Amino acid sequence: MKTFPTSAVWCLGILFISVSLITTGSSEVVGPADPVVALAGDDIILPCSLKPSVSAEEMVVEWTRSNLRKENVHLYRQGRDSNEDQSPSYSGRTSMFHEELKNGNVSLKLTRVTLSDAGRYRCFIPTLTSQVKETTVQLLVGAVSQPVISIDGTKGWGVVLKCESGGWFPEPEMEWLDSSGTILPADGPPEIHREEDLYAVRRHVTVNQTDTNRFTCRVKQPEINHLKETEIHVPDEVFPKSQVGFIVGLIAAAVVVLTASAGGVYWWRKHKEKQRQRLEELCDAWFVDRHKDDLIQRVSEGKSIASELHKKDLIPDEMNSQISAAGTRQDQMRLLFKALEEAENTTRVKSAFYRILLRLEPYLVYHLEEQRQRLEELRDAQFVTRHKDHLIQKVSKGESIASELHQKDLIPDEMNSRISAARTSQDQMRLLFKALEEAEDTTRVKSAFYRILLDLEPDLVKDLKKKQRQRLEERRDAWFVDRHKDHLIQKVSKGKSIASELHQKDLIPDEMNSQISVAATSQDQMRLLFKALEEAENTTRVKSAFYRILLDLEPDIVKDLEKQRQRLEELREALFVDRHKDDLIQKVSKGKSIASELHQKDLIPDEMNSQISAAGTSQDQMRLLFLALEEAENTTRVKSAFYRILLDLEPDIVKDLDICDDLFGLFNLFENLKKEIDDVTRERGELNNCMDFIDLSENTCLKKYIHYILH
């Protein structure tokens, strides 16, 4: 047998090594040309790769940061991450894409970015033989926050608006705009304050009455290319009276000045100041009422707020003591809201509450305002999407809308030109909808479209909203009729009269009305009537008309069915509480709060509430609470109330147990099917395939029932 010469083996080995070195040596480390921009809290990727692409699986990759001192950010060597010497500030926040290393991708993922992470990062591969073994990546980190607008009084013919926004980095710019996007001259430069690492900015503007009375506060950060906007609509009644009224008032004032004492002038000024203060208080109280549920769940300084209100004599001693002794933050806030509602001048006290909250927890206020704006944008966008076909057919000012969106930099130049050149209004609107769908933030752009449409064609929006509301009401009525079909057939005695009214409205045909009229019994009449409802061209509309006539002719039946539905809901909720009693005792941590709410509703007695409050563990609290549920006079009603409160305070527990119930029903179905299938092997295979779609580690309930079926 021939053997391969040793010299040849050495030659091939040297050749292989040389080719590897040449291939590896020809690759260079490359990074991005532009800085990576992120907001605090984001997860970002610092790009770094080998060009041409070669595998980096066996290489050493060092990520470091040069700040005041060198920091080890991430180290990869010997085929694994090796972060023993990693800087503590990066612990648990860095990772590489191991599956991409074979393609030369050595990028670093950094999670939960902080402001202190900003700087230059070095990606270094020391094992490369090429001269370019490293690159640097510049990371810019910023922070943004939603502006908050408030009315700050009046000046001359106008209203003074104040815009505030905190939590920015780097230092932001603020400007005011009118509804057309034109920048308004502000009342002086922005006031900028720095608190620790973040900036807060405030700016006033005086605005005069316009066709829309809509004004926008925009805060932007050019360095990180981010901006936030908040729009306000100022009601007409807030603006000072017209010039004619002012002239009359001026003459009257002149007479007063000539004939009255200096005390009259003082009184007039005091009155104007009170008027401005009243406006501010109304705006503050509106915010508190609107966000009541969120504030109860999220405010952590309830005790401190109550203490400050108490010092101002705005809540009584006893209530302040109760709030101070409350066990949880949510209980503190519920008591505090109770105090706000019971106050003699509730608007004034809510305004004081808002001012204290804004000082103690400013970011919560900004977040709620941002959340409110996002919800409004979603609502606006949903309207636009739902009525797309109608808007394409009926809107005549597509070109003007596109022009305003273009001025706000919400649609590109080219698309604006195409819309402007389109022949018909329908073509303009089709192109405009295409632009809306292609926008980066389609929700925001559709919301802006809606606002402009509301300004230019308000009657069209009003008409579509009216039709939408009518359709929703019709669907609700039809749902009632479908749900209670069997009961209605048995109980309604005036089927003939209902059919006659529907016939007069041309909602059921002549022949069917005649058949119903000659039917022997009320049940036969109703069966025929339901047949007519199902066969109608627009069955929802006809069922809604049936419901309205029924409500007029036999209102007691409708009321009884509604009470029955409510009773069934209570029974279902009470059944849930009974079925999951053991789980609830073990898992619910807010038994004291639930008992407190039930006590406030007079559903459990004082003594039992005190015992629950004094219990040492959450399990003991829940055992006592279940004892109170069982001893209640109307146990079903009290258990239903318990369920509603639990759903509010600990929704995840309810959701998890509901999933268990649904899965139990599903797997009971599997069990019944199993009895009808002879091929056990095939049946086991099918169930195991089903299991592939379910993450068992996430749901122990699911494990339990699949185990039950398979074994």
CA distances, 696 to each of 59, 165, 653, 690 (Å): 37, 45, 18, 11
The whole-number pLDDT of residue 560 equals 86
The whole-number pLDDT of residue 185 equals 92
478 within some domain: no
Q: For the chain, what percent of residues have pLDDT higher than 90?
A: 44
The whole-number pLDDT of residue 8 equals 45
237 within some domain: no
Q: Ramachandran region of residue 168, left (φ > 0), alpha (ψ -120 to 50) or beta?
A: beta
Judge if 353 and 308 occupy the same domain: yes
The whole-number pLDDT of residue 22 equals 42
Least confident of 290-299, 463-472, 602-611, 685-694: 685-694
Question: Residue 505: which pLDDT band, with cuts at 50, 70 and 90?
Answer: very high
16 within some domain: no
The whole-number pLDDT of residue 488 equals 93
In tens, the pLDDT along 157-181 reads: 889 999 999 888 888 999 999 988 8
CATH number at residue 581: 1.10.533
In tens, the pLDDT along 13-58 reads: 444 444 444 444 478 999 998 899 999 888 999 999 999 889 999 9
Q: What angle do CA 564, 569, 572 make, to 5 degrees?
A: 125
CB burial readout 165-199, b (16+ within 10 A) else e: bbbbbbebebbbbbbebeebebeeebeeeeeeebb
Domain span holding position 193: 152-232
Judge if 355 and 386 occupy the same domain: no
Question: Residue 258: which pLDDT band, with cuts at 50, 70 and 90?
Answer: low
- Side chain identity at 646, as an amino acid letter? L
Structural element, H or E, at residue 608: helix 606-614
Q: Please tell me whether residue 177 adopts helix, strand or coil conformation.
A: strand
Judge if 51 and 134 occupy the same domain: yes
Judge if 37 and 109 occupy the same domain: yes
CATH number at residue 409: 1.10.533.10
Domain boundary among 337, 360, 383: 360
Torsions phi, psi for 665 (to 5 deg): -65, -40
Residue 591: is its pLDDT beyond 50? yes
Of residues 605 and 15, more confidently modeled: 605
Question: Residue 273: which pLDDT band, with cuts at 50, 70 and 90?
Answer: low
How confident is the model over 550-573, as a mean pLDDT? 86
Within 10 A of 264 (CB to CB), how many other CB atoms are there?
A: 13
- Alpha-carbon distance of 477 to 538, in angstroms, equals 14
The whole-number pLDDT of residue 252 equals 56
Torsions phi, psi for 329 (to 5 deg): -60, -40
Judge if 123 and 36 occupy the same domain: yes
Judge if 126 and 43 occupy the same domain: yes
Q: Please tell me whether residue 42 adopts helix, strand or coil conformation.
A: coil
- Torsion angle defined by CA atoms of residues 590, 591, 597 and 598, in that order, rounded to the nearest 10 degrees: 160
CA 494, chain centre distance (Å): 47
Judge if 32 and 138 occupy the same domain: yes
CA atoms within 13 A on the CB side of 662: 7
Q: Please tell me whether residue 110 adopts helix, strand or coil conformation.
A: strand
CA atoms within 13 A on the CB side of 463: 9
Sign (positive or negative) of CA dihedral 407, 209, 376, 223: positive
Torsions phi, psi for 313 (to 5 deg): 60, 35
- Side chain identity at 580, as an amino acid letter? H
Residue 418: is its pLDDT beyond 70? yes
Question: Residue 69: which pLDDT band, with cuts at 50, 70 and 90?
Answer: low
Strands across the sheet containing 94-96? 44-46, 108-110, 94-96
- Side chain identity at 623, as an amino acid letter? R
Closest CA to 594 of 616, 612, 569: 612
11 within some domain: no
Rank 41-45, 256-260, 270-274 by mean pLDDT and report only the highest: 41-45
The whole-number pLDDT of residue 9 equals 42
Residue 219: is its pLDDT beyond 90? yes
Strand ranges in 146-257 using DSSP code E only, listed in sequence order: 148-155, 158-168, 173-178, 183-184, 191-195, 198-207, 214-221, 226-233
170 cis-preceded (ω within 30 degrees of 0): yes
How confident is the model over 95-108, as a mean pLDDT? 93
Q: Are strands 80-81 and 94-96 parallel, antiparallel or unpaired?
A: unpaired
Question: Residue 254: which pLDDT band, with cuts at 50, 70 and 90?
Answer: low
- Alpha-carbon distance of 619 to 589, in angstroms, equals 8
Sign (positive or negative) of CA dihedral 662, 665, 670, 673: negative
Residue 114: is its pLDDT beyond 50? yes
Torsions phi, psi for 585 (to 5 deg): -60, -40
Supply the DSSP string of 235-249, one letter for each residue.
-GGGSPPPHHHHHHH
In tens, the pLDDT along 613-626 reads: 888 888 999 999 99
412 within some domain: yes
CB 528 within 8 A of CB 498: no
- Alpha-carbon distance of 628 to 236, in angstroms, equals 55
Q: Are strands 134-142 and 36-39 parallel, antiparallel or unpaired?
A: parallel
- Alpha-carbon distance of 404 to 411, in angstroms, equals 9
Q: Are strands 44-46 and 108-110 parallel, antiparallel or unpaired?
A: antiparallel
Of residues 656 and 686, more confidently modeled: 656
Sign (positive or negative) of CA dihedral 614, 616, 620, 621: positive
Residue 684: is its pLDDT beyond 50? no
5 within some domain: no
- Alpha-carbon distance of 164 to 151, in angstroms, equals 11
Judge if 400 and 351 occupy the same domain: no
CB 149 within 8 A of CB 205: no
- Alpha-carbon distance of 305 to 299, in angstroms, equals 10
Judge if 579 and 529 occupy the same domain: no
How confident is the model over 478-495, as a mean pLDDT? 91
The whole-number pLDDT of residue 269 equals 61
The whole-number pLDDT of residue 493 equals 93
Question: Residue 263: which pLDDT band, with cuts at 50, 70 and 90?
Answer: low
Closest CA to 580 of 649, 648, 664: 664
Domain boundary among 320, 342, 360: 360
Q: What angle do CA 135, 138, 143 make, to 5 degrees?
A: 160
The whole-number pLDDT of residue 472 equals 82
Judge if 543 and 579 occupy the same domain: no
- Rounded to the nearest 10 degrees, what angle do helices 539-553 and 555-579 cross at? 110
Residue 216: is its pLDDT beyond 90? yes
CATH number at residue 44: 2.60.40.10
How confident is the model over 515-538, as a mean pLDDT? 93
Q: Please tell me whether residue 86 adopts helix, strand or coil conformation.
A: coil
Residue 359: is its pLDDT beyond 50? yes
Rank 171-175, 250-254, 559-563 by mean pLDDT and report only the highest: 171-175
pTM over 0.75: no
Question: Residue 372: which pLDDT band, with cuts at 50, 70 and 90?
Answer: confident
Least confident of 128-132, 579-583, 623-627: 128-132
CB 205 within 8 A of CB 176: yes
Q: How many residues does the chain have?
A: 711
Considering the chain, what is the average pLDDT of its residues?
A: 83
The whole-number pLDDT of residue 251 equals 56
The whole-number pLDDT of residue 366 equals 77
Judge if 94 and 173 occupy the same domain: no
Supply the DSSP string of 436-447, one letter for each residue.
HHHSTTHHHHHH
In tens, the pLDDT along 299-343 reads: 988 999 999 999 999 999 999 999 999 888 898 999 999 999 998
Judge if 111 and 137 occupy the same domain: yes
Report the number of distinct structural domains present in the chain: 7
In tens, the pLDDT along 446-475 reads: 999 999 998 899 999 988 888 888 888 898
15 within some domain: no
Domain boundary among 553, 572, 587: 553
Of residues 268 and 79, more confidently modeled: 79
The whole-number pLDDT of residue 272 equals 58
252 within some domain: no
CA atoms within 13 A on the CB side of 259: 6
